[in-house]
C-alpha cells in the first residue's frame, strides 16, 4: 500500500497510475484559485480542506476535469465541511451548511463519496452514494473506561468502548444556541482510573477542557481521542489536561504533541482495489 508520506499535509491528493500526487495550487491577485493540470487522470481523490474556500476550489477542479470530458473519480472526504450545521435551528445559527455542502457534492455526481466518522447521520443521508467508515481506535495504552462527552458522541464512544472491552461513562454539557458559549458540564459517578474521552471533532477544545476539570476532580485521569482534530486554539491547552491526545489524519495542519493515527491511505486503498 502506498503511504501518504511527504504528502501527509496536502489538502488535495489524487491517485493516478498507482502513485499518489498532490494537486498544485496558485492564486490570481484577487485570490481566485489557479490550479495546475494533473500529471495523469485521477482514479480517486482525497480531499482534506482546512477551509470552505479550498473545498469549493477543489470542486471547481473536478468541474474542470468534467469539462474536458474526463470521468469524475470517486471522492474520499474524511471530514464533511459544515457537518455540525446539520439542521434548521429555531434560533441562533441561521445556516444549514451541511445541506448546502451536500448539494454541491451531489451536483458533481461522484461515483462514491467516502467519509470518516460523520458528525451525525444527516450528512450520509444527504450525500448521494455516500459510504461511511466508522470510528476506530487502537493503542497500547490501557483504559478502565471510555467517556462520551455528550449525547452526540454516545454511539461512537460505545463502539470504541466495546472494541476495548471496557465500560462506557456518560457526560453532558449545556450550550447557548445563540452564542455557542458553553454553560456547564456534568458527568456520572466515575471511579478513580484511566479513561479515554472519545468524540468526532475538536475545534477550539472547550468541551474537552471543561470535561477534563471534572475528571480531575474525581481523582481520575484521561486521554483524548477525536477523529477530526482541528485544534483551532492550539494543542497546548489540551495537552496540559490530557496525558495523551490522539486524532486521525482526516484534516491537515500543525498539531504539536498530538499522536496522529493514519486512516486516509486505507480509505483510498478501499476504492477500486489496492494501490
pLDDT tens digits, 228-273: 999 999 999 999 999 999 999 999 988 999 999 999 999 998 886 5
At 221, the pLDDT band (50, 70, 90 cuts) reads: very high
Q: In whole angstroms, what is the distance from residue 97 CA to residue 88 CA?
A: 10
Arithmetic mean of pLDDT, 34-51:
93
Nearest partner of 199 among 236, 238, 240, judged by Cα: 238
At 180, the pLDDT band (50, 70, 90 cuts) reads: low
| pLDDT of amino acid 141 | 96
Distances (CA, A) of 153 to 58, 60, 170, 194, 211: 30, 33, 9, 19, 13
CATH number of 5-134+264-269: 3.40.50.2020
Task: Tell which CATH classification among 3.90.1300.10, 2.40.110.10, 3.40.640.10, 3.40.50.2020 matches the domain 145-261.
Answer: 3.40.50.2020
| pLDDT of amino acid 175 | 64
> Is the per-residue pLDDT at 176 higher than 70?
no
| pLDDT of amino acid 275 | 44
- Is the Cβ–Cβ distance between 207 and 200 less than 8 Å? no
At 6, the pLDDT band (50, 70, 90 cuts) reads: confident
At 178, the pLDDT band (50, 70, 90 cuts) reads: low
Domain with CATH 3.40.50.2020 in the chain: 5-134+264-269, 145-261
Arithmetic mean of pLDDT, 38-56:
93
> Is the per-residue pLDDT at 45 higher than 80?
yes
> Is the per-residue pLDDT at 121 higher than 90?
yes
At 8, the pLDDT band (50, 70, 90 cuts) reads: confident
Q: What is the pTM of this model?
A: 0.93
73 compared with 24, residue with greater pLDDT: 73
Q: What is the DSSP string of 108-167?
A: HT-S-EEEES-SSSHHHHHSTTEEEEPP----SS--SEEEESSGGGHHHHHHHHHHHT--
Q: In whole angstroms, what is the distance from residue 17 CA to residue 41 CA?
A: 8
Calculate the average pLDDT of the chain: 92
| pLDDT of amino acid 18 | 85
Beta-strand relationship, 182-187 and 168-175: antiparallel
Where are the strands (E) in the chain, listed by range? 12-16, 19-22, 25-27, 33-35, 44-47, 75-76, 113-116, 130-133, 145-148, 168-175, 182-187, 194-202, 221-229, 245-248, 259-261
- Is the Cβ–Cβ distance between 239 and 260 less than 8 Å? no
Which pLDDT tens digit goes with each residue over 140-166? Answer: 999 999 999 999 999 999 999 999 999
- Residues composing the chain: 275
| pLDDT of amino acid 2 | 65
> Is the per-residue pLDDT at 32 higher than 50?
yes
Amino acid at each position: 500500500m502506498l503511504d501518504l508520506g511527504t504528502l501527509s499535509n496536502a489538502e488535495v491528493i489524487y491517485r493516478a497510475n498507482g502513485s499518489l500526487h498532490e494537486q498544485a495550487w496558485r492564486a490570481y491577485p484577487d485570490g481566485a484559485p489557479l490550479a495546475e493540470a494533473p500529471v495523469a487522470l485521477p482514479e480517486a481523490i482525497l480531499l482534506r480542506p482546512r477551509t470552505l474556500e479550498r473545498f469549493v476550489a477543489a470542486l471547481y477542479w473536478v468541474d474542470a476535469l468534467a469539462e474536458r470530458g474526463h470521468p469524475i473519480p470517486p471522492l474520499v472526504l474524511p471530514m464533511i465541511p459544515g457537518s455540525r450545521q446539520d439542521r434548521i435551528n429555531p434560533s441562533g445559527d441561521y445556516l444549514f451548511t451541511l445541506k448546502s455542502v451536500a448539494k454541491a457534492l451531489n451536483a458533481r455526481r461522484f461515483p462514491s463519496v467516502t467519509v470518516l466518522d460523520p458528525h451525525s447521520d444527516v450528512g450520509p443521508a444527504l450525500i448521494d452514494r455516500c459510504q461511511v467508515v466508522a470510528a476506530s481506535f487502537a493503542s497500547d495504552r490501557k483504559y478502565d473506561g471510555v467517556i462520551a462527552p455528550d449525547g452526540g458522541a454516545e454511539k461512537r464512544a460505545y463502539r470504541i468502548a466495546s472494541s476495548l472491552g471496557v465500560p462506557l461513562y456518560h457526560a453532558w454539557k449545556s450550550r447557548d444556541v445563540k452564542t455557542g458559549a458553553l454553560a456547564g458540564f456534568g458527568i456520572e459517578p466515575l471511579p478513580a482510573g484511566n479513561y479515554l474521552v472519545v468524540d468526532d471533532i475538536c475545534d477550539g477544545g472547550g468541551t474537552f477542557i471543561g470535561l477534563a476539570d471534572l475528571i480531575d476532580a474525581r481523582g481520575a485521569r484521561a486521554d483524548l481521542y477525536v477523529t477530526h482534530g482541528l485544534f483551532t486554539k492550539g494543542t497546548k491547552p489540551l495537552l496540559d489536561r490530557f496525558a495523551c491526545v490522539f486524532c486521525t489524519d482526516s484534516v491537515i495542519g500543525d498539531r504539536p504533541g498530538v499522536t496522529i493515527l493514519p486512516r486516509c491511505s486505507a480509505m483510498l486503498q478501499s476504492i477500486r482495489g489496492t494501490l
